[in-house]
């Protein structure tokens, strides 16, 4: 039995109610090891890079942040840099001043006199501390203004890049996960990195001052101090690297957890979750994966503790060595006692500055990994933007022509469409029929330019859509989806969302709501079209499936587009509403839809299994396994006789109605 099977059949905490996943070969999802995303395997190379290689990349990380910060608020960035440097310089100055005061205090001679002699030096120390306090306040104020702006800019950059990707990109699960992780961890890392860079700058200045002071007092002390730091640096960076590697190892487990967590709370599966008594199954699966994740987190912490222990031991040895060297210098009278006091203080300051530098560099180093998500997401998203083109799609095209079009979904072996040749003419109502999975929805997306064909061309008049500006294409289309989007807004906006710039109650609005039957839905709502139709809000309410479908149809008609694809627009409608919608769509094809519309007619593509409704279509295309196998009017296709696909499908449906009528 494999380890995974063993995990699946013997979950760590099977509830008393019984573990229904235990009988599965594998897990609830069905496969245990979900393949990690592509970008995670690329990042493994990053996690395996040597410390030196990664250190060398830190300036590049800083550059990303400085660029972003500069682009967001150049003056504020400059100011942040200046106050941070000044604050570091003041610390350095304070250190020199303190060393000076100590040297005077510990010199030989009567104590009262030494105290009096050191007063000016002590005054300088006090002044430097006061200035440091002021500058620290300035640093916080500037940081507090800059950091949220940088985060906002980073989020905006990501949103803009992600919003612009071609529709087909969302078919790629790796990209979706990258968008989720990069959008969260990456943006958070930009904010944190701004702080870290500021910390690194200021602590490096203090560190330099402390090391220089120590070196001036005795150059022998510097190498041992640096040895202590190197050990700390190694420990901090090794532990960051371990953390990142563990994150990558757990990516697919966390994805699985995310899926199960969503299922536990998602409203759209709540009824089935309850009726199928899935709570225990989901909880078991969650516990099983969460146990793996927790064990890994514990293992990681143990490994990190070991690394830290080793680092501390080495760095403690380095510090001890520094004090031994100081003792030897005193013993050999190479260094007078007066200077030794200052040296101790400088060494303590240097150690603390080294520590804070290391902590800051380490944090920056940690965040640099997640900044990669940010950069990678930006890069990938921009790479998936449709090319910019000067060519615009024709308004209200006369013909839509598909030549030898084939289409395969990303990551699939079998094409969903094979070698389609087809011409649609303006004003036609075309019905796409065929069995489940025959390619109807896919064909609708290809001829509207939503998906690019894998082979072949789609032309609107003479313009190849592959060369056209996509926005100009999408402005010409309306899609009534099989399951229309349920926008979490008021009912009216749910209808107008495809043409928000239009007047509120024009002729197009009335046509859309009456042809779709959405008028009845709006009338039944407590606040009419102003009713919030989303349970995401406390005052919101939901609609039935059929009511949503009417809203979806109204939205499609209201869009007033040259090409309308209605994909199963009536699947959830009652018979009366269905007849009304089909009549409405047919009618909407042949009339001018709004007073200010310059289009005479539109092209309508109907995808449906309700064959009684397509008999009046101008042309019916029958698809089978991704190919058009028949084409013609209802009469022509019925004339092909009982061997014809359409004839068979139609007769089956008609027979079902006749049988039902006979039994009454
Ligand atoms: N997003 C997708 N990724 C991969 N394969 C897909 C995807 N969507 C559909 N397919 C596959 O492409 C083929 C055509 O699907 P399509 O949705 O176009 O069929 P359809 O005729 O509209 O089906 P139905 O009548 O059930 O709505 C099917 O084999 C389906 O499994």
Q: Is the pLDDT of residue 308 over 80?
A: yes
Residue 282 to residue 277: CA distance in whole angstroms: 10
Cβ of 635: how many Cβ atoms within 10 Å? Answer: 8
pLDDT for 65-91, tens place per residue?
888 899 999 999 999 888 888 887 887
As a whole-number percent, the residues of the chain with pLDDT over 70 amount to 88
The ipTM assigned to this model is 0.98
Delineate the domains of the chain, giving CATH numbers in brackets. Answer: 38-383 (1.20.1560.10)
Cβ of 260: how many Cβ atoms within 10 Å? Answer: 21
Q: Is the pLDDT of residue 19 over 50?
A: no
Q: Which atom of ligand 1 is nearest to the CA of 568?
A: 27
Instruction: Name the phi and psi angles at 275, rounded to 5.
Output: -65, -35
Residue 34 to residue 250: CA distance in whole angstroms: 11
Q: Whose CA is nearest to atom 2 of ligand 1?
A: 409
Q: How far is the CA of 414 from the centre of ligand 1 (A)?
A: 11
Show the ligand 1 pocket: residues with CB < 6 angstroms.
171, 409, 412, 416, 434, 436-442
- Give residue 404's pLDDT: 96
- Give residue 415's pLDDT: 95
User: Is pTM beyond 0.80 here?
Assistant: no
Q: Which atom of ligand 1 is nearest to the CA of 626?
A: 14
pLDDT for 209-255, tens place per residue?
778 877 877 787 788 777 777 777 788 778 877 887 788 788 878 88
- Give residue 10's pLDDT: 33
Q: How far is the CA of 439 from the centre of ligand 1 (A)?
A: 6
pLDDT for 95-121, tens place per residue?
778 877 877 777 666 777 777 877 888
- Give residue 32's pLDDT: 62
Q: Backbone dihedral region of 396: left (phi > 0), alpha (psi from -120 to 50 degrees) or beta?
A: left
Pocket test for ligand 1, best of 405, 441, 443, 444 (most atoms within 8 A of CB): 441
Average per-residue pLDDT for the chain? 83
Q: How far is the CA of 369 from the centre of ligand 1 (A)?
A: 38
- Give residue 591's pLDDT: 52
Bridging pattern class, strands 429-434 and 603-607: parallel
Residue 39 to residue 373: CA distance in whole angstroms: 9
Q: Is the pLDDT of residue 642 over 90?
A: no
Q: Whose CA is nearest to atom 25 of ligand 1?
A: 436
Instruction: Work out whether the CA dihedral 29, 30, 32, 34 comes out positive or negative.
Output: negative
- Give residue 587's pLDDT: 67
Give the closest residue to 624 by CA, choosing from 435, 365, 494. Answer: 435
Instruction: Work out whether the CA dihedral 635, 636, 637, 638 comes out positive or negative.
Output: positive
| Exposure b/e, 599-611, CB count within 10 A at least 16 = b | eebbbbbbbbbbb
- Give residue 198's pLDDT: 82
Q: Which atom of ligand 1 is nearest to the CA of 171?
A: 1
Pocket test for ligand 1, best of 416, 481, 614 (most atoms within 8 A of CB): 416
- pLDDT confidence of 565, banded at 50, 70, 90? very high
Q: Whose CA is nearest to atom 14 of ligand 1?
A: 439
The distance in angstroms from the start CA to the end CA of the chain is: 58
Q: Whose CA is nearest to atom 27 of ligand 1?
A: 436
Pocket test for ligand 1, best of 167, 415, 418, 437 (most atoms within 8 A of CB): 437
Q: Is the pLDDT of residue 630 over 60?
A: yes
Q: Whose CA is nearest to atom 16 of ligand 1?
A: 439
- Quick check: 410 and 599 in contact, CB under 8 A? no
Residue 569 to residue 491: CA distance in whole angstroms: 18
Q: How far is the CA of 417 from the centre of ligand 1 (A)?
A: 10
Instruction: Name the phi and psi angles at 175, rounded to 5.
Output: -65, -40
- Quick check: 254 and 40 in contact, CB under 8 A? no
């Amino acid at each position: 039995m494999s380890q995974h099977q063993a995990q699946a059949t013997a979950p760590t905490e099977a509830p008393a109610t019984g573990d229904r996943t235990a009988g599965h070969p594998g897990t609830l999802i069905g496969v245990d090891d979900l393949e990690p995303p592509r970008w995670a395997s690329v990042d493994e190379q990053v996690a395996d890079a040597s410390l030196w290689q990664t250190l060398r990349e830190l300036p590049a990380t800083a550059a990303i942040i400085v660029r972003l910060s500069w682009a967001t608020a150049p003056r504020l960035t400059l100011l942040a840099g200046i106050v941070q440097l000044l604050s570091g310089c003041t610390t350095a100055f304070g250190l020199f001043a303190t060393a000076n005061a100590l040297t005077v205090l510990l010199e030989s001679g009567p104590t009262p006199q030494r105290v009096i002699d050191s007063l000016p030096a002590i005054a300088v120390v006090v002044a430097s501390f006061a200035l440091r306090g002021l500058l620290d306040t300035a640093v916080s104020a500037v940081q507090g203004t800059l950091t949220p702006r940088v985060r906002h800019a980073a989020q905006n950059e990501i949103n803009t890049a992600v919003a612009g990707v071609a529709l087909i990109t969302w078919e790629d699960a790796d990209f979706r996960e990258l968008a989720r992780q990069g959008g969260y961890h990456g943006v958070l890392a930009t904010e944190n990195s701004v702080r870290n860079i500021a910390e690194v700058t200021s602590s490096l200045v203090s560190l330099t001052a402390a090391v220089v002071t120590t070196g001036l007092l005795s150059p022998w002390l510097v190498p041992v101090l640096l040895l202590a730091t190197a050990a700390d640096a190694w420990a901090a960076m090794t532990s960051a690297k371990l953390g990142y590697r563990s994150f990558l190892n757990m990516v697919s487990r966390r994805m699985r957890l995310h899926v199960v967590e969503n299922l536990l709370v998602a409203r759209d599966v709540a009824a089935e979750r309850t009726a199928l008594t899935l709570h225990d199954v989901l909880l078991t699966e969650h516990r099983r994966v969460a146990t793996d994740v927790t064990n890994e987190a514990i293992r990681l912490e143990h490994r990190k503790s070991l690394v830290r222990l080793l680092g501390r031991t080495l760095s403690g040895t380095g510090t001890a060595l520094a004090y031994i060297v100081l003792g030897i210098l005193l013993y050999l009278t190479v260094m007078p006692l007066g200077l030794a006091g200052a040296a101790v203080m400088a060494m303590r300051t240097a150690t603390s500055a080294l520590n804070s530098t290391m902590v800051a560099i380490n944090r920056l180093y940690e965040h640099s990994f997640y900044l990669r998500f940010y950069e990678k997401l930006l890069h990938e998203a921009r790479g998936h933007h449709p090319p910019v083109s000067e060519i615009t799609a024709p308004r209200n095209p006369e013909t839509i022509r598909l030549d030898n079009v084939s289409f395969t979904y990303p990551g699939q072996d079998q094409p969903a469409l094979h070698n389609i040749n087809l011409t649609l003419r303006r004003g036609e109502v075309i019905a796409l029929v065929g069995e489940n999975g025959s390619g109807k929805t896919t064909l609708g997306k290809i001829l509207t330019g939503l998906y690019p064909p894998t082979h072949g061309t789609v032309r609107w008049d003479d313009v190849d859509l592959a060369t056209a500006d996509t926005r100009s294409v999408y402005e010409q289309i309306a899609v009534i989806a099989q399951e229309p989007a349920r926008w979490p807004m008021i009912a009216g906006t749910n209808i107008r969302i495809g043409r928000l710039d239009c007047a509120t109650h024009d002729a197009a609005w009335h046509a859309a709501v009456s042809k779709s039957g959405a008028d009845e839905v709006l009338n039944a709502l407590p606040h009419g079209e102003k009713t919030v139709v989303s349970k995401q809000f406390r005052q919101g309410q939901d609609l039935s499936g059929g009511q949503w479908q009417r809203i979806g149809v109204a939205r499609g008609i209201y869009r007033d587009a040259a090409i309308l694809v209605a994909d199963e627009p009536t699947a959830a409608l009652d018979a009366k509403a269905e007849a009304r919608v089909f009549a409405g769509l047919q009618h909407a094809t042949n009339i001018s839809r709004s007073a200010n519309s310059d289009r005479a007619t539109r092209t309508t593509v109907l995808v449906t299994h309700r064959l009684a409704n397509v008999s009046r279509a101008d042309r019916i295309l029958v698809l089978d396994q991704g190919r058009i196998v028949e084409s013609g009017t209802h009469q022509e296709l019925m004339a092909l006789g009982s061997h014809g696909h359409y004839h068979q499908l139609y007769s089956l449906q008609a027979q079902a109605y006749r049988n039902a009528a006979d039994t009454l």
